[in-house]
Amino acid sequence: MNKWVRAASVMLALTLAAGCSGAKIGDDSASGGSAGDCGDFNIAINPWVGYEANAAVLAYVAETDLGCTVTKKDLKEEVAWQGFGTGEVDAVVENWGHDDLKKKYIDDQKTAVSAGSTGVKGQIGWYVPPWLAAKYPDITDWNNLNKYASMFQTSESGGQGQLLDGDPSFVTNDEALVKNLNLNYKVVYGGSETALIQAFRQAEQNKTPVIGYFYSPQWLFAEIKLVKVDLPAYTEGCDADPEKIACDYPDYDLDKIVSKKFADSGSPAYELVKNFQWTNDDQNEVAKSIAEDKLSPEAAAKKWVDANKDKVQAWLPKA
């Protein structure tokens, strides 16, 4: 979810294979045949399980209720937005802010449009495991973090404390925050959401120290009550200059972005995406089924859809 995606990260992400189709941006083999009145529906899959839960349910409903031919494409965020202009990506179904990408692809290039809120409220921050907050209550105030820096040292952080982040493509201001708040910490990227979850689980189980980037909605909070560190309060515009950020993350109303071509196509899949709204609890239920209960995304989606027919009915295009 990287708001300030490095060029190197983008180039790396361009090489990622895409879903079951094996497609990637620039691969003309992504196009398939039509099915019923819906035809093809190409959903980008960004690399965290909450997003995957949204996409799984939308794909299941599109296939079973609308007869769409759905292709899921595993793509990092900015790379997915590049696909709007080529027609290779129809929808990004959980967007975390990204004012920079909205300006580029919605305002300037006009290849994308907003499809409204998902109903899910997002929050990013720094967290510690419950045992650590209980033993050192003042550790949740950023002003005290340097006092504890030596406790978080690792082989990767050298003589500084380690601040553990996830996938480098996630929205993160952490390197700027560490610098601008004069914290004796080094941001170390674990590489994935799974790595973050494993680190917090092990820290709580073994009573070892860890401080790291995390976010909600996330099903792990039902298992471990991670404790948020209070950073300087967010105020409007405090994150306008990425190099000077010294404030907490804003609260996010997670929304959907679709290609302009898709929005104008008259496809029932667009109406489904536009109408799709659910709650943090809904998403966490499906995400847990995928990540923890090891159901396939399709099986997790079917389980939730079968139990929530009224919600799904409200998403479907009106005859």
Q: In whole angstroms, how far apart are CA 13 and each of 2, 8, 162?
A: 12, 9, 25
Q: What is the pLDDT of residue 78?
A: 87
Residue 156 has pLDDT above 90, yes or no: yes
Q: What is the pLDDT of residue 194?
A: 94
pLDDT band at 284 (very low <50, low <70, confident <90, very high): very high
CB 188 within 8 A of CB 162: yes
The predicted-structure confidence for 201-244, as pLDDT tens digits, reads as follows: 999 999 999 999 999 999 999 899 999 999 999 999 999 999 99
As a whole number, mean pLDDT of residues 33-42 equals 70
pLDDT band at 60 (very low <50, low <70, confident <90, very high): very high
Each residue of 179-198: b (16+ CB within 10 Å) or e? eebebbbbbbbbeebebbbe
- When mean pLDDT is compared across 12-21, 57-66, 106-115, 131-140, the lowest value belongs to 12-21
The predicted-structure confidence for 67-87, as pLDDT tens digits, reads as follows: 999 999 999 888 999 999 999
pLDDT band at 37 (very low <50, low <70, confident <90, very high): confident
Q: What is the pLDDT of residue 99?
A: 87
CA distance 69 to 78: 24
Query: Domains in the chain, please, with CATH?
Result: 7-121+255-315 (3.40.190.10), 123-251 (3.40.190.100)
As a whole number, mean pLDDT of residues 158-174 equals 94
Residue 27 has pLDDT above 90, yes or no: no
Q: What is the pLDDT of residue 24?
A: 40
Residue 30 has pLDDT above 50, yes or no: no
Q: What is the pLDDT of residue 205?
A: 97
Q: What is the pLDDT of residue 258?
A: 98
The predicted-structure confidence for 242-274, as pLDDT tens digits, reads as follows: 999 999 999 999 999 999 999 999 999 999 999
CA distance 29 to 18: 11
As a whole number, mean pLDDT of residues 28-34 equals 34
Q: Is the pTM of this model over 0.95?
A: no
Q: What is the pLDDT of residue 14?
A: 35
Residue 1 has pLDDT above 70, yes or no: no
Q: In whole angstroms, how far apart are CA 225 and each of 190, 195, 205, 209?
A: 21, 17, 13, 15
Q: What is the pLDDT of residue 319?
A: 67
Q: What is the pLDDT of residue 98?
A: 87
Work out the mean pLDDT of the chain and round it to a whole number: 89
CA distance 90 to 105: 13
Q: What is the pLDDT of residue 189?
A: 97
Closest to 66 (Cα-Cα) out of 38, 32, 33: 38
Q: What is the pLDDT of residue 318?
A: 86
Percent of the chain with pLDDT over 70: 88
Q: What angle do CA 52, 53, 55 make, to 5 degrees?
A: 65
Q: What is the pLDDT of residue 9?
A: 40
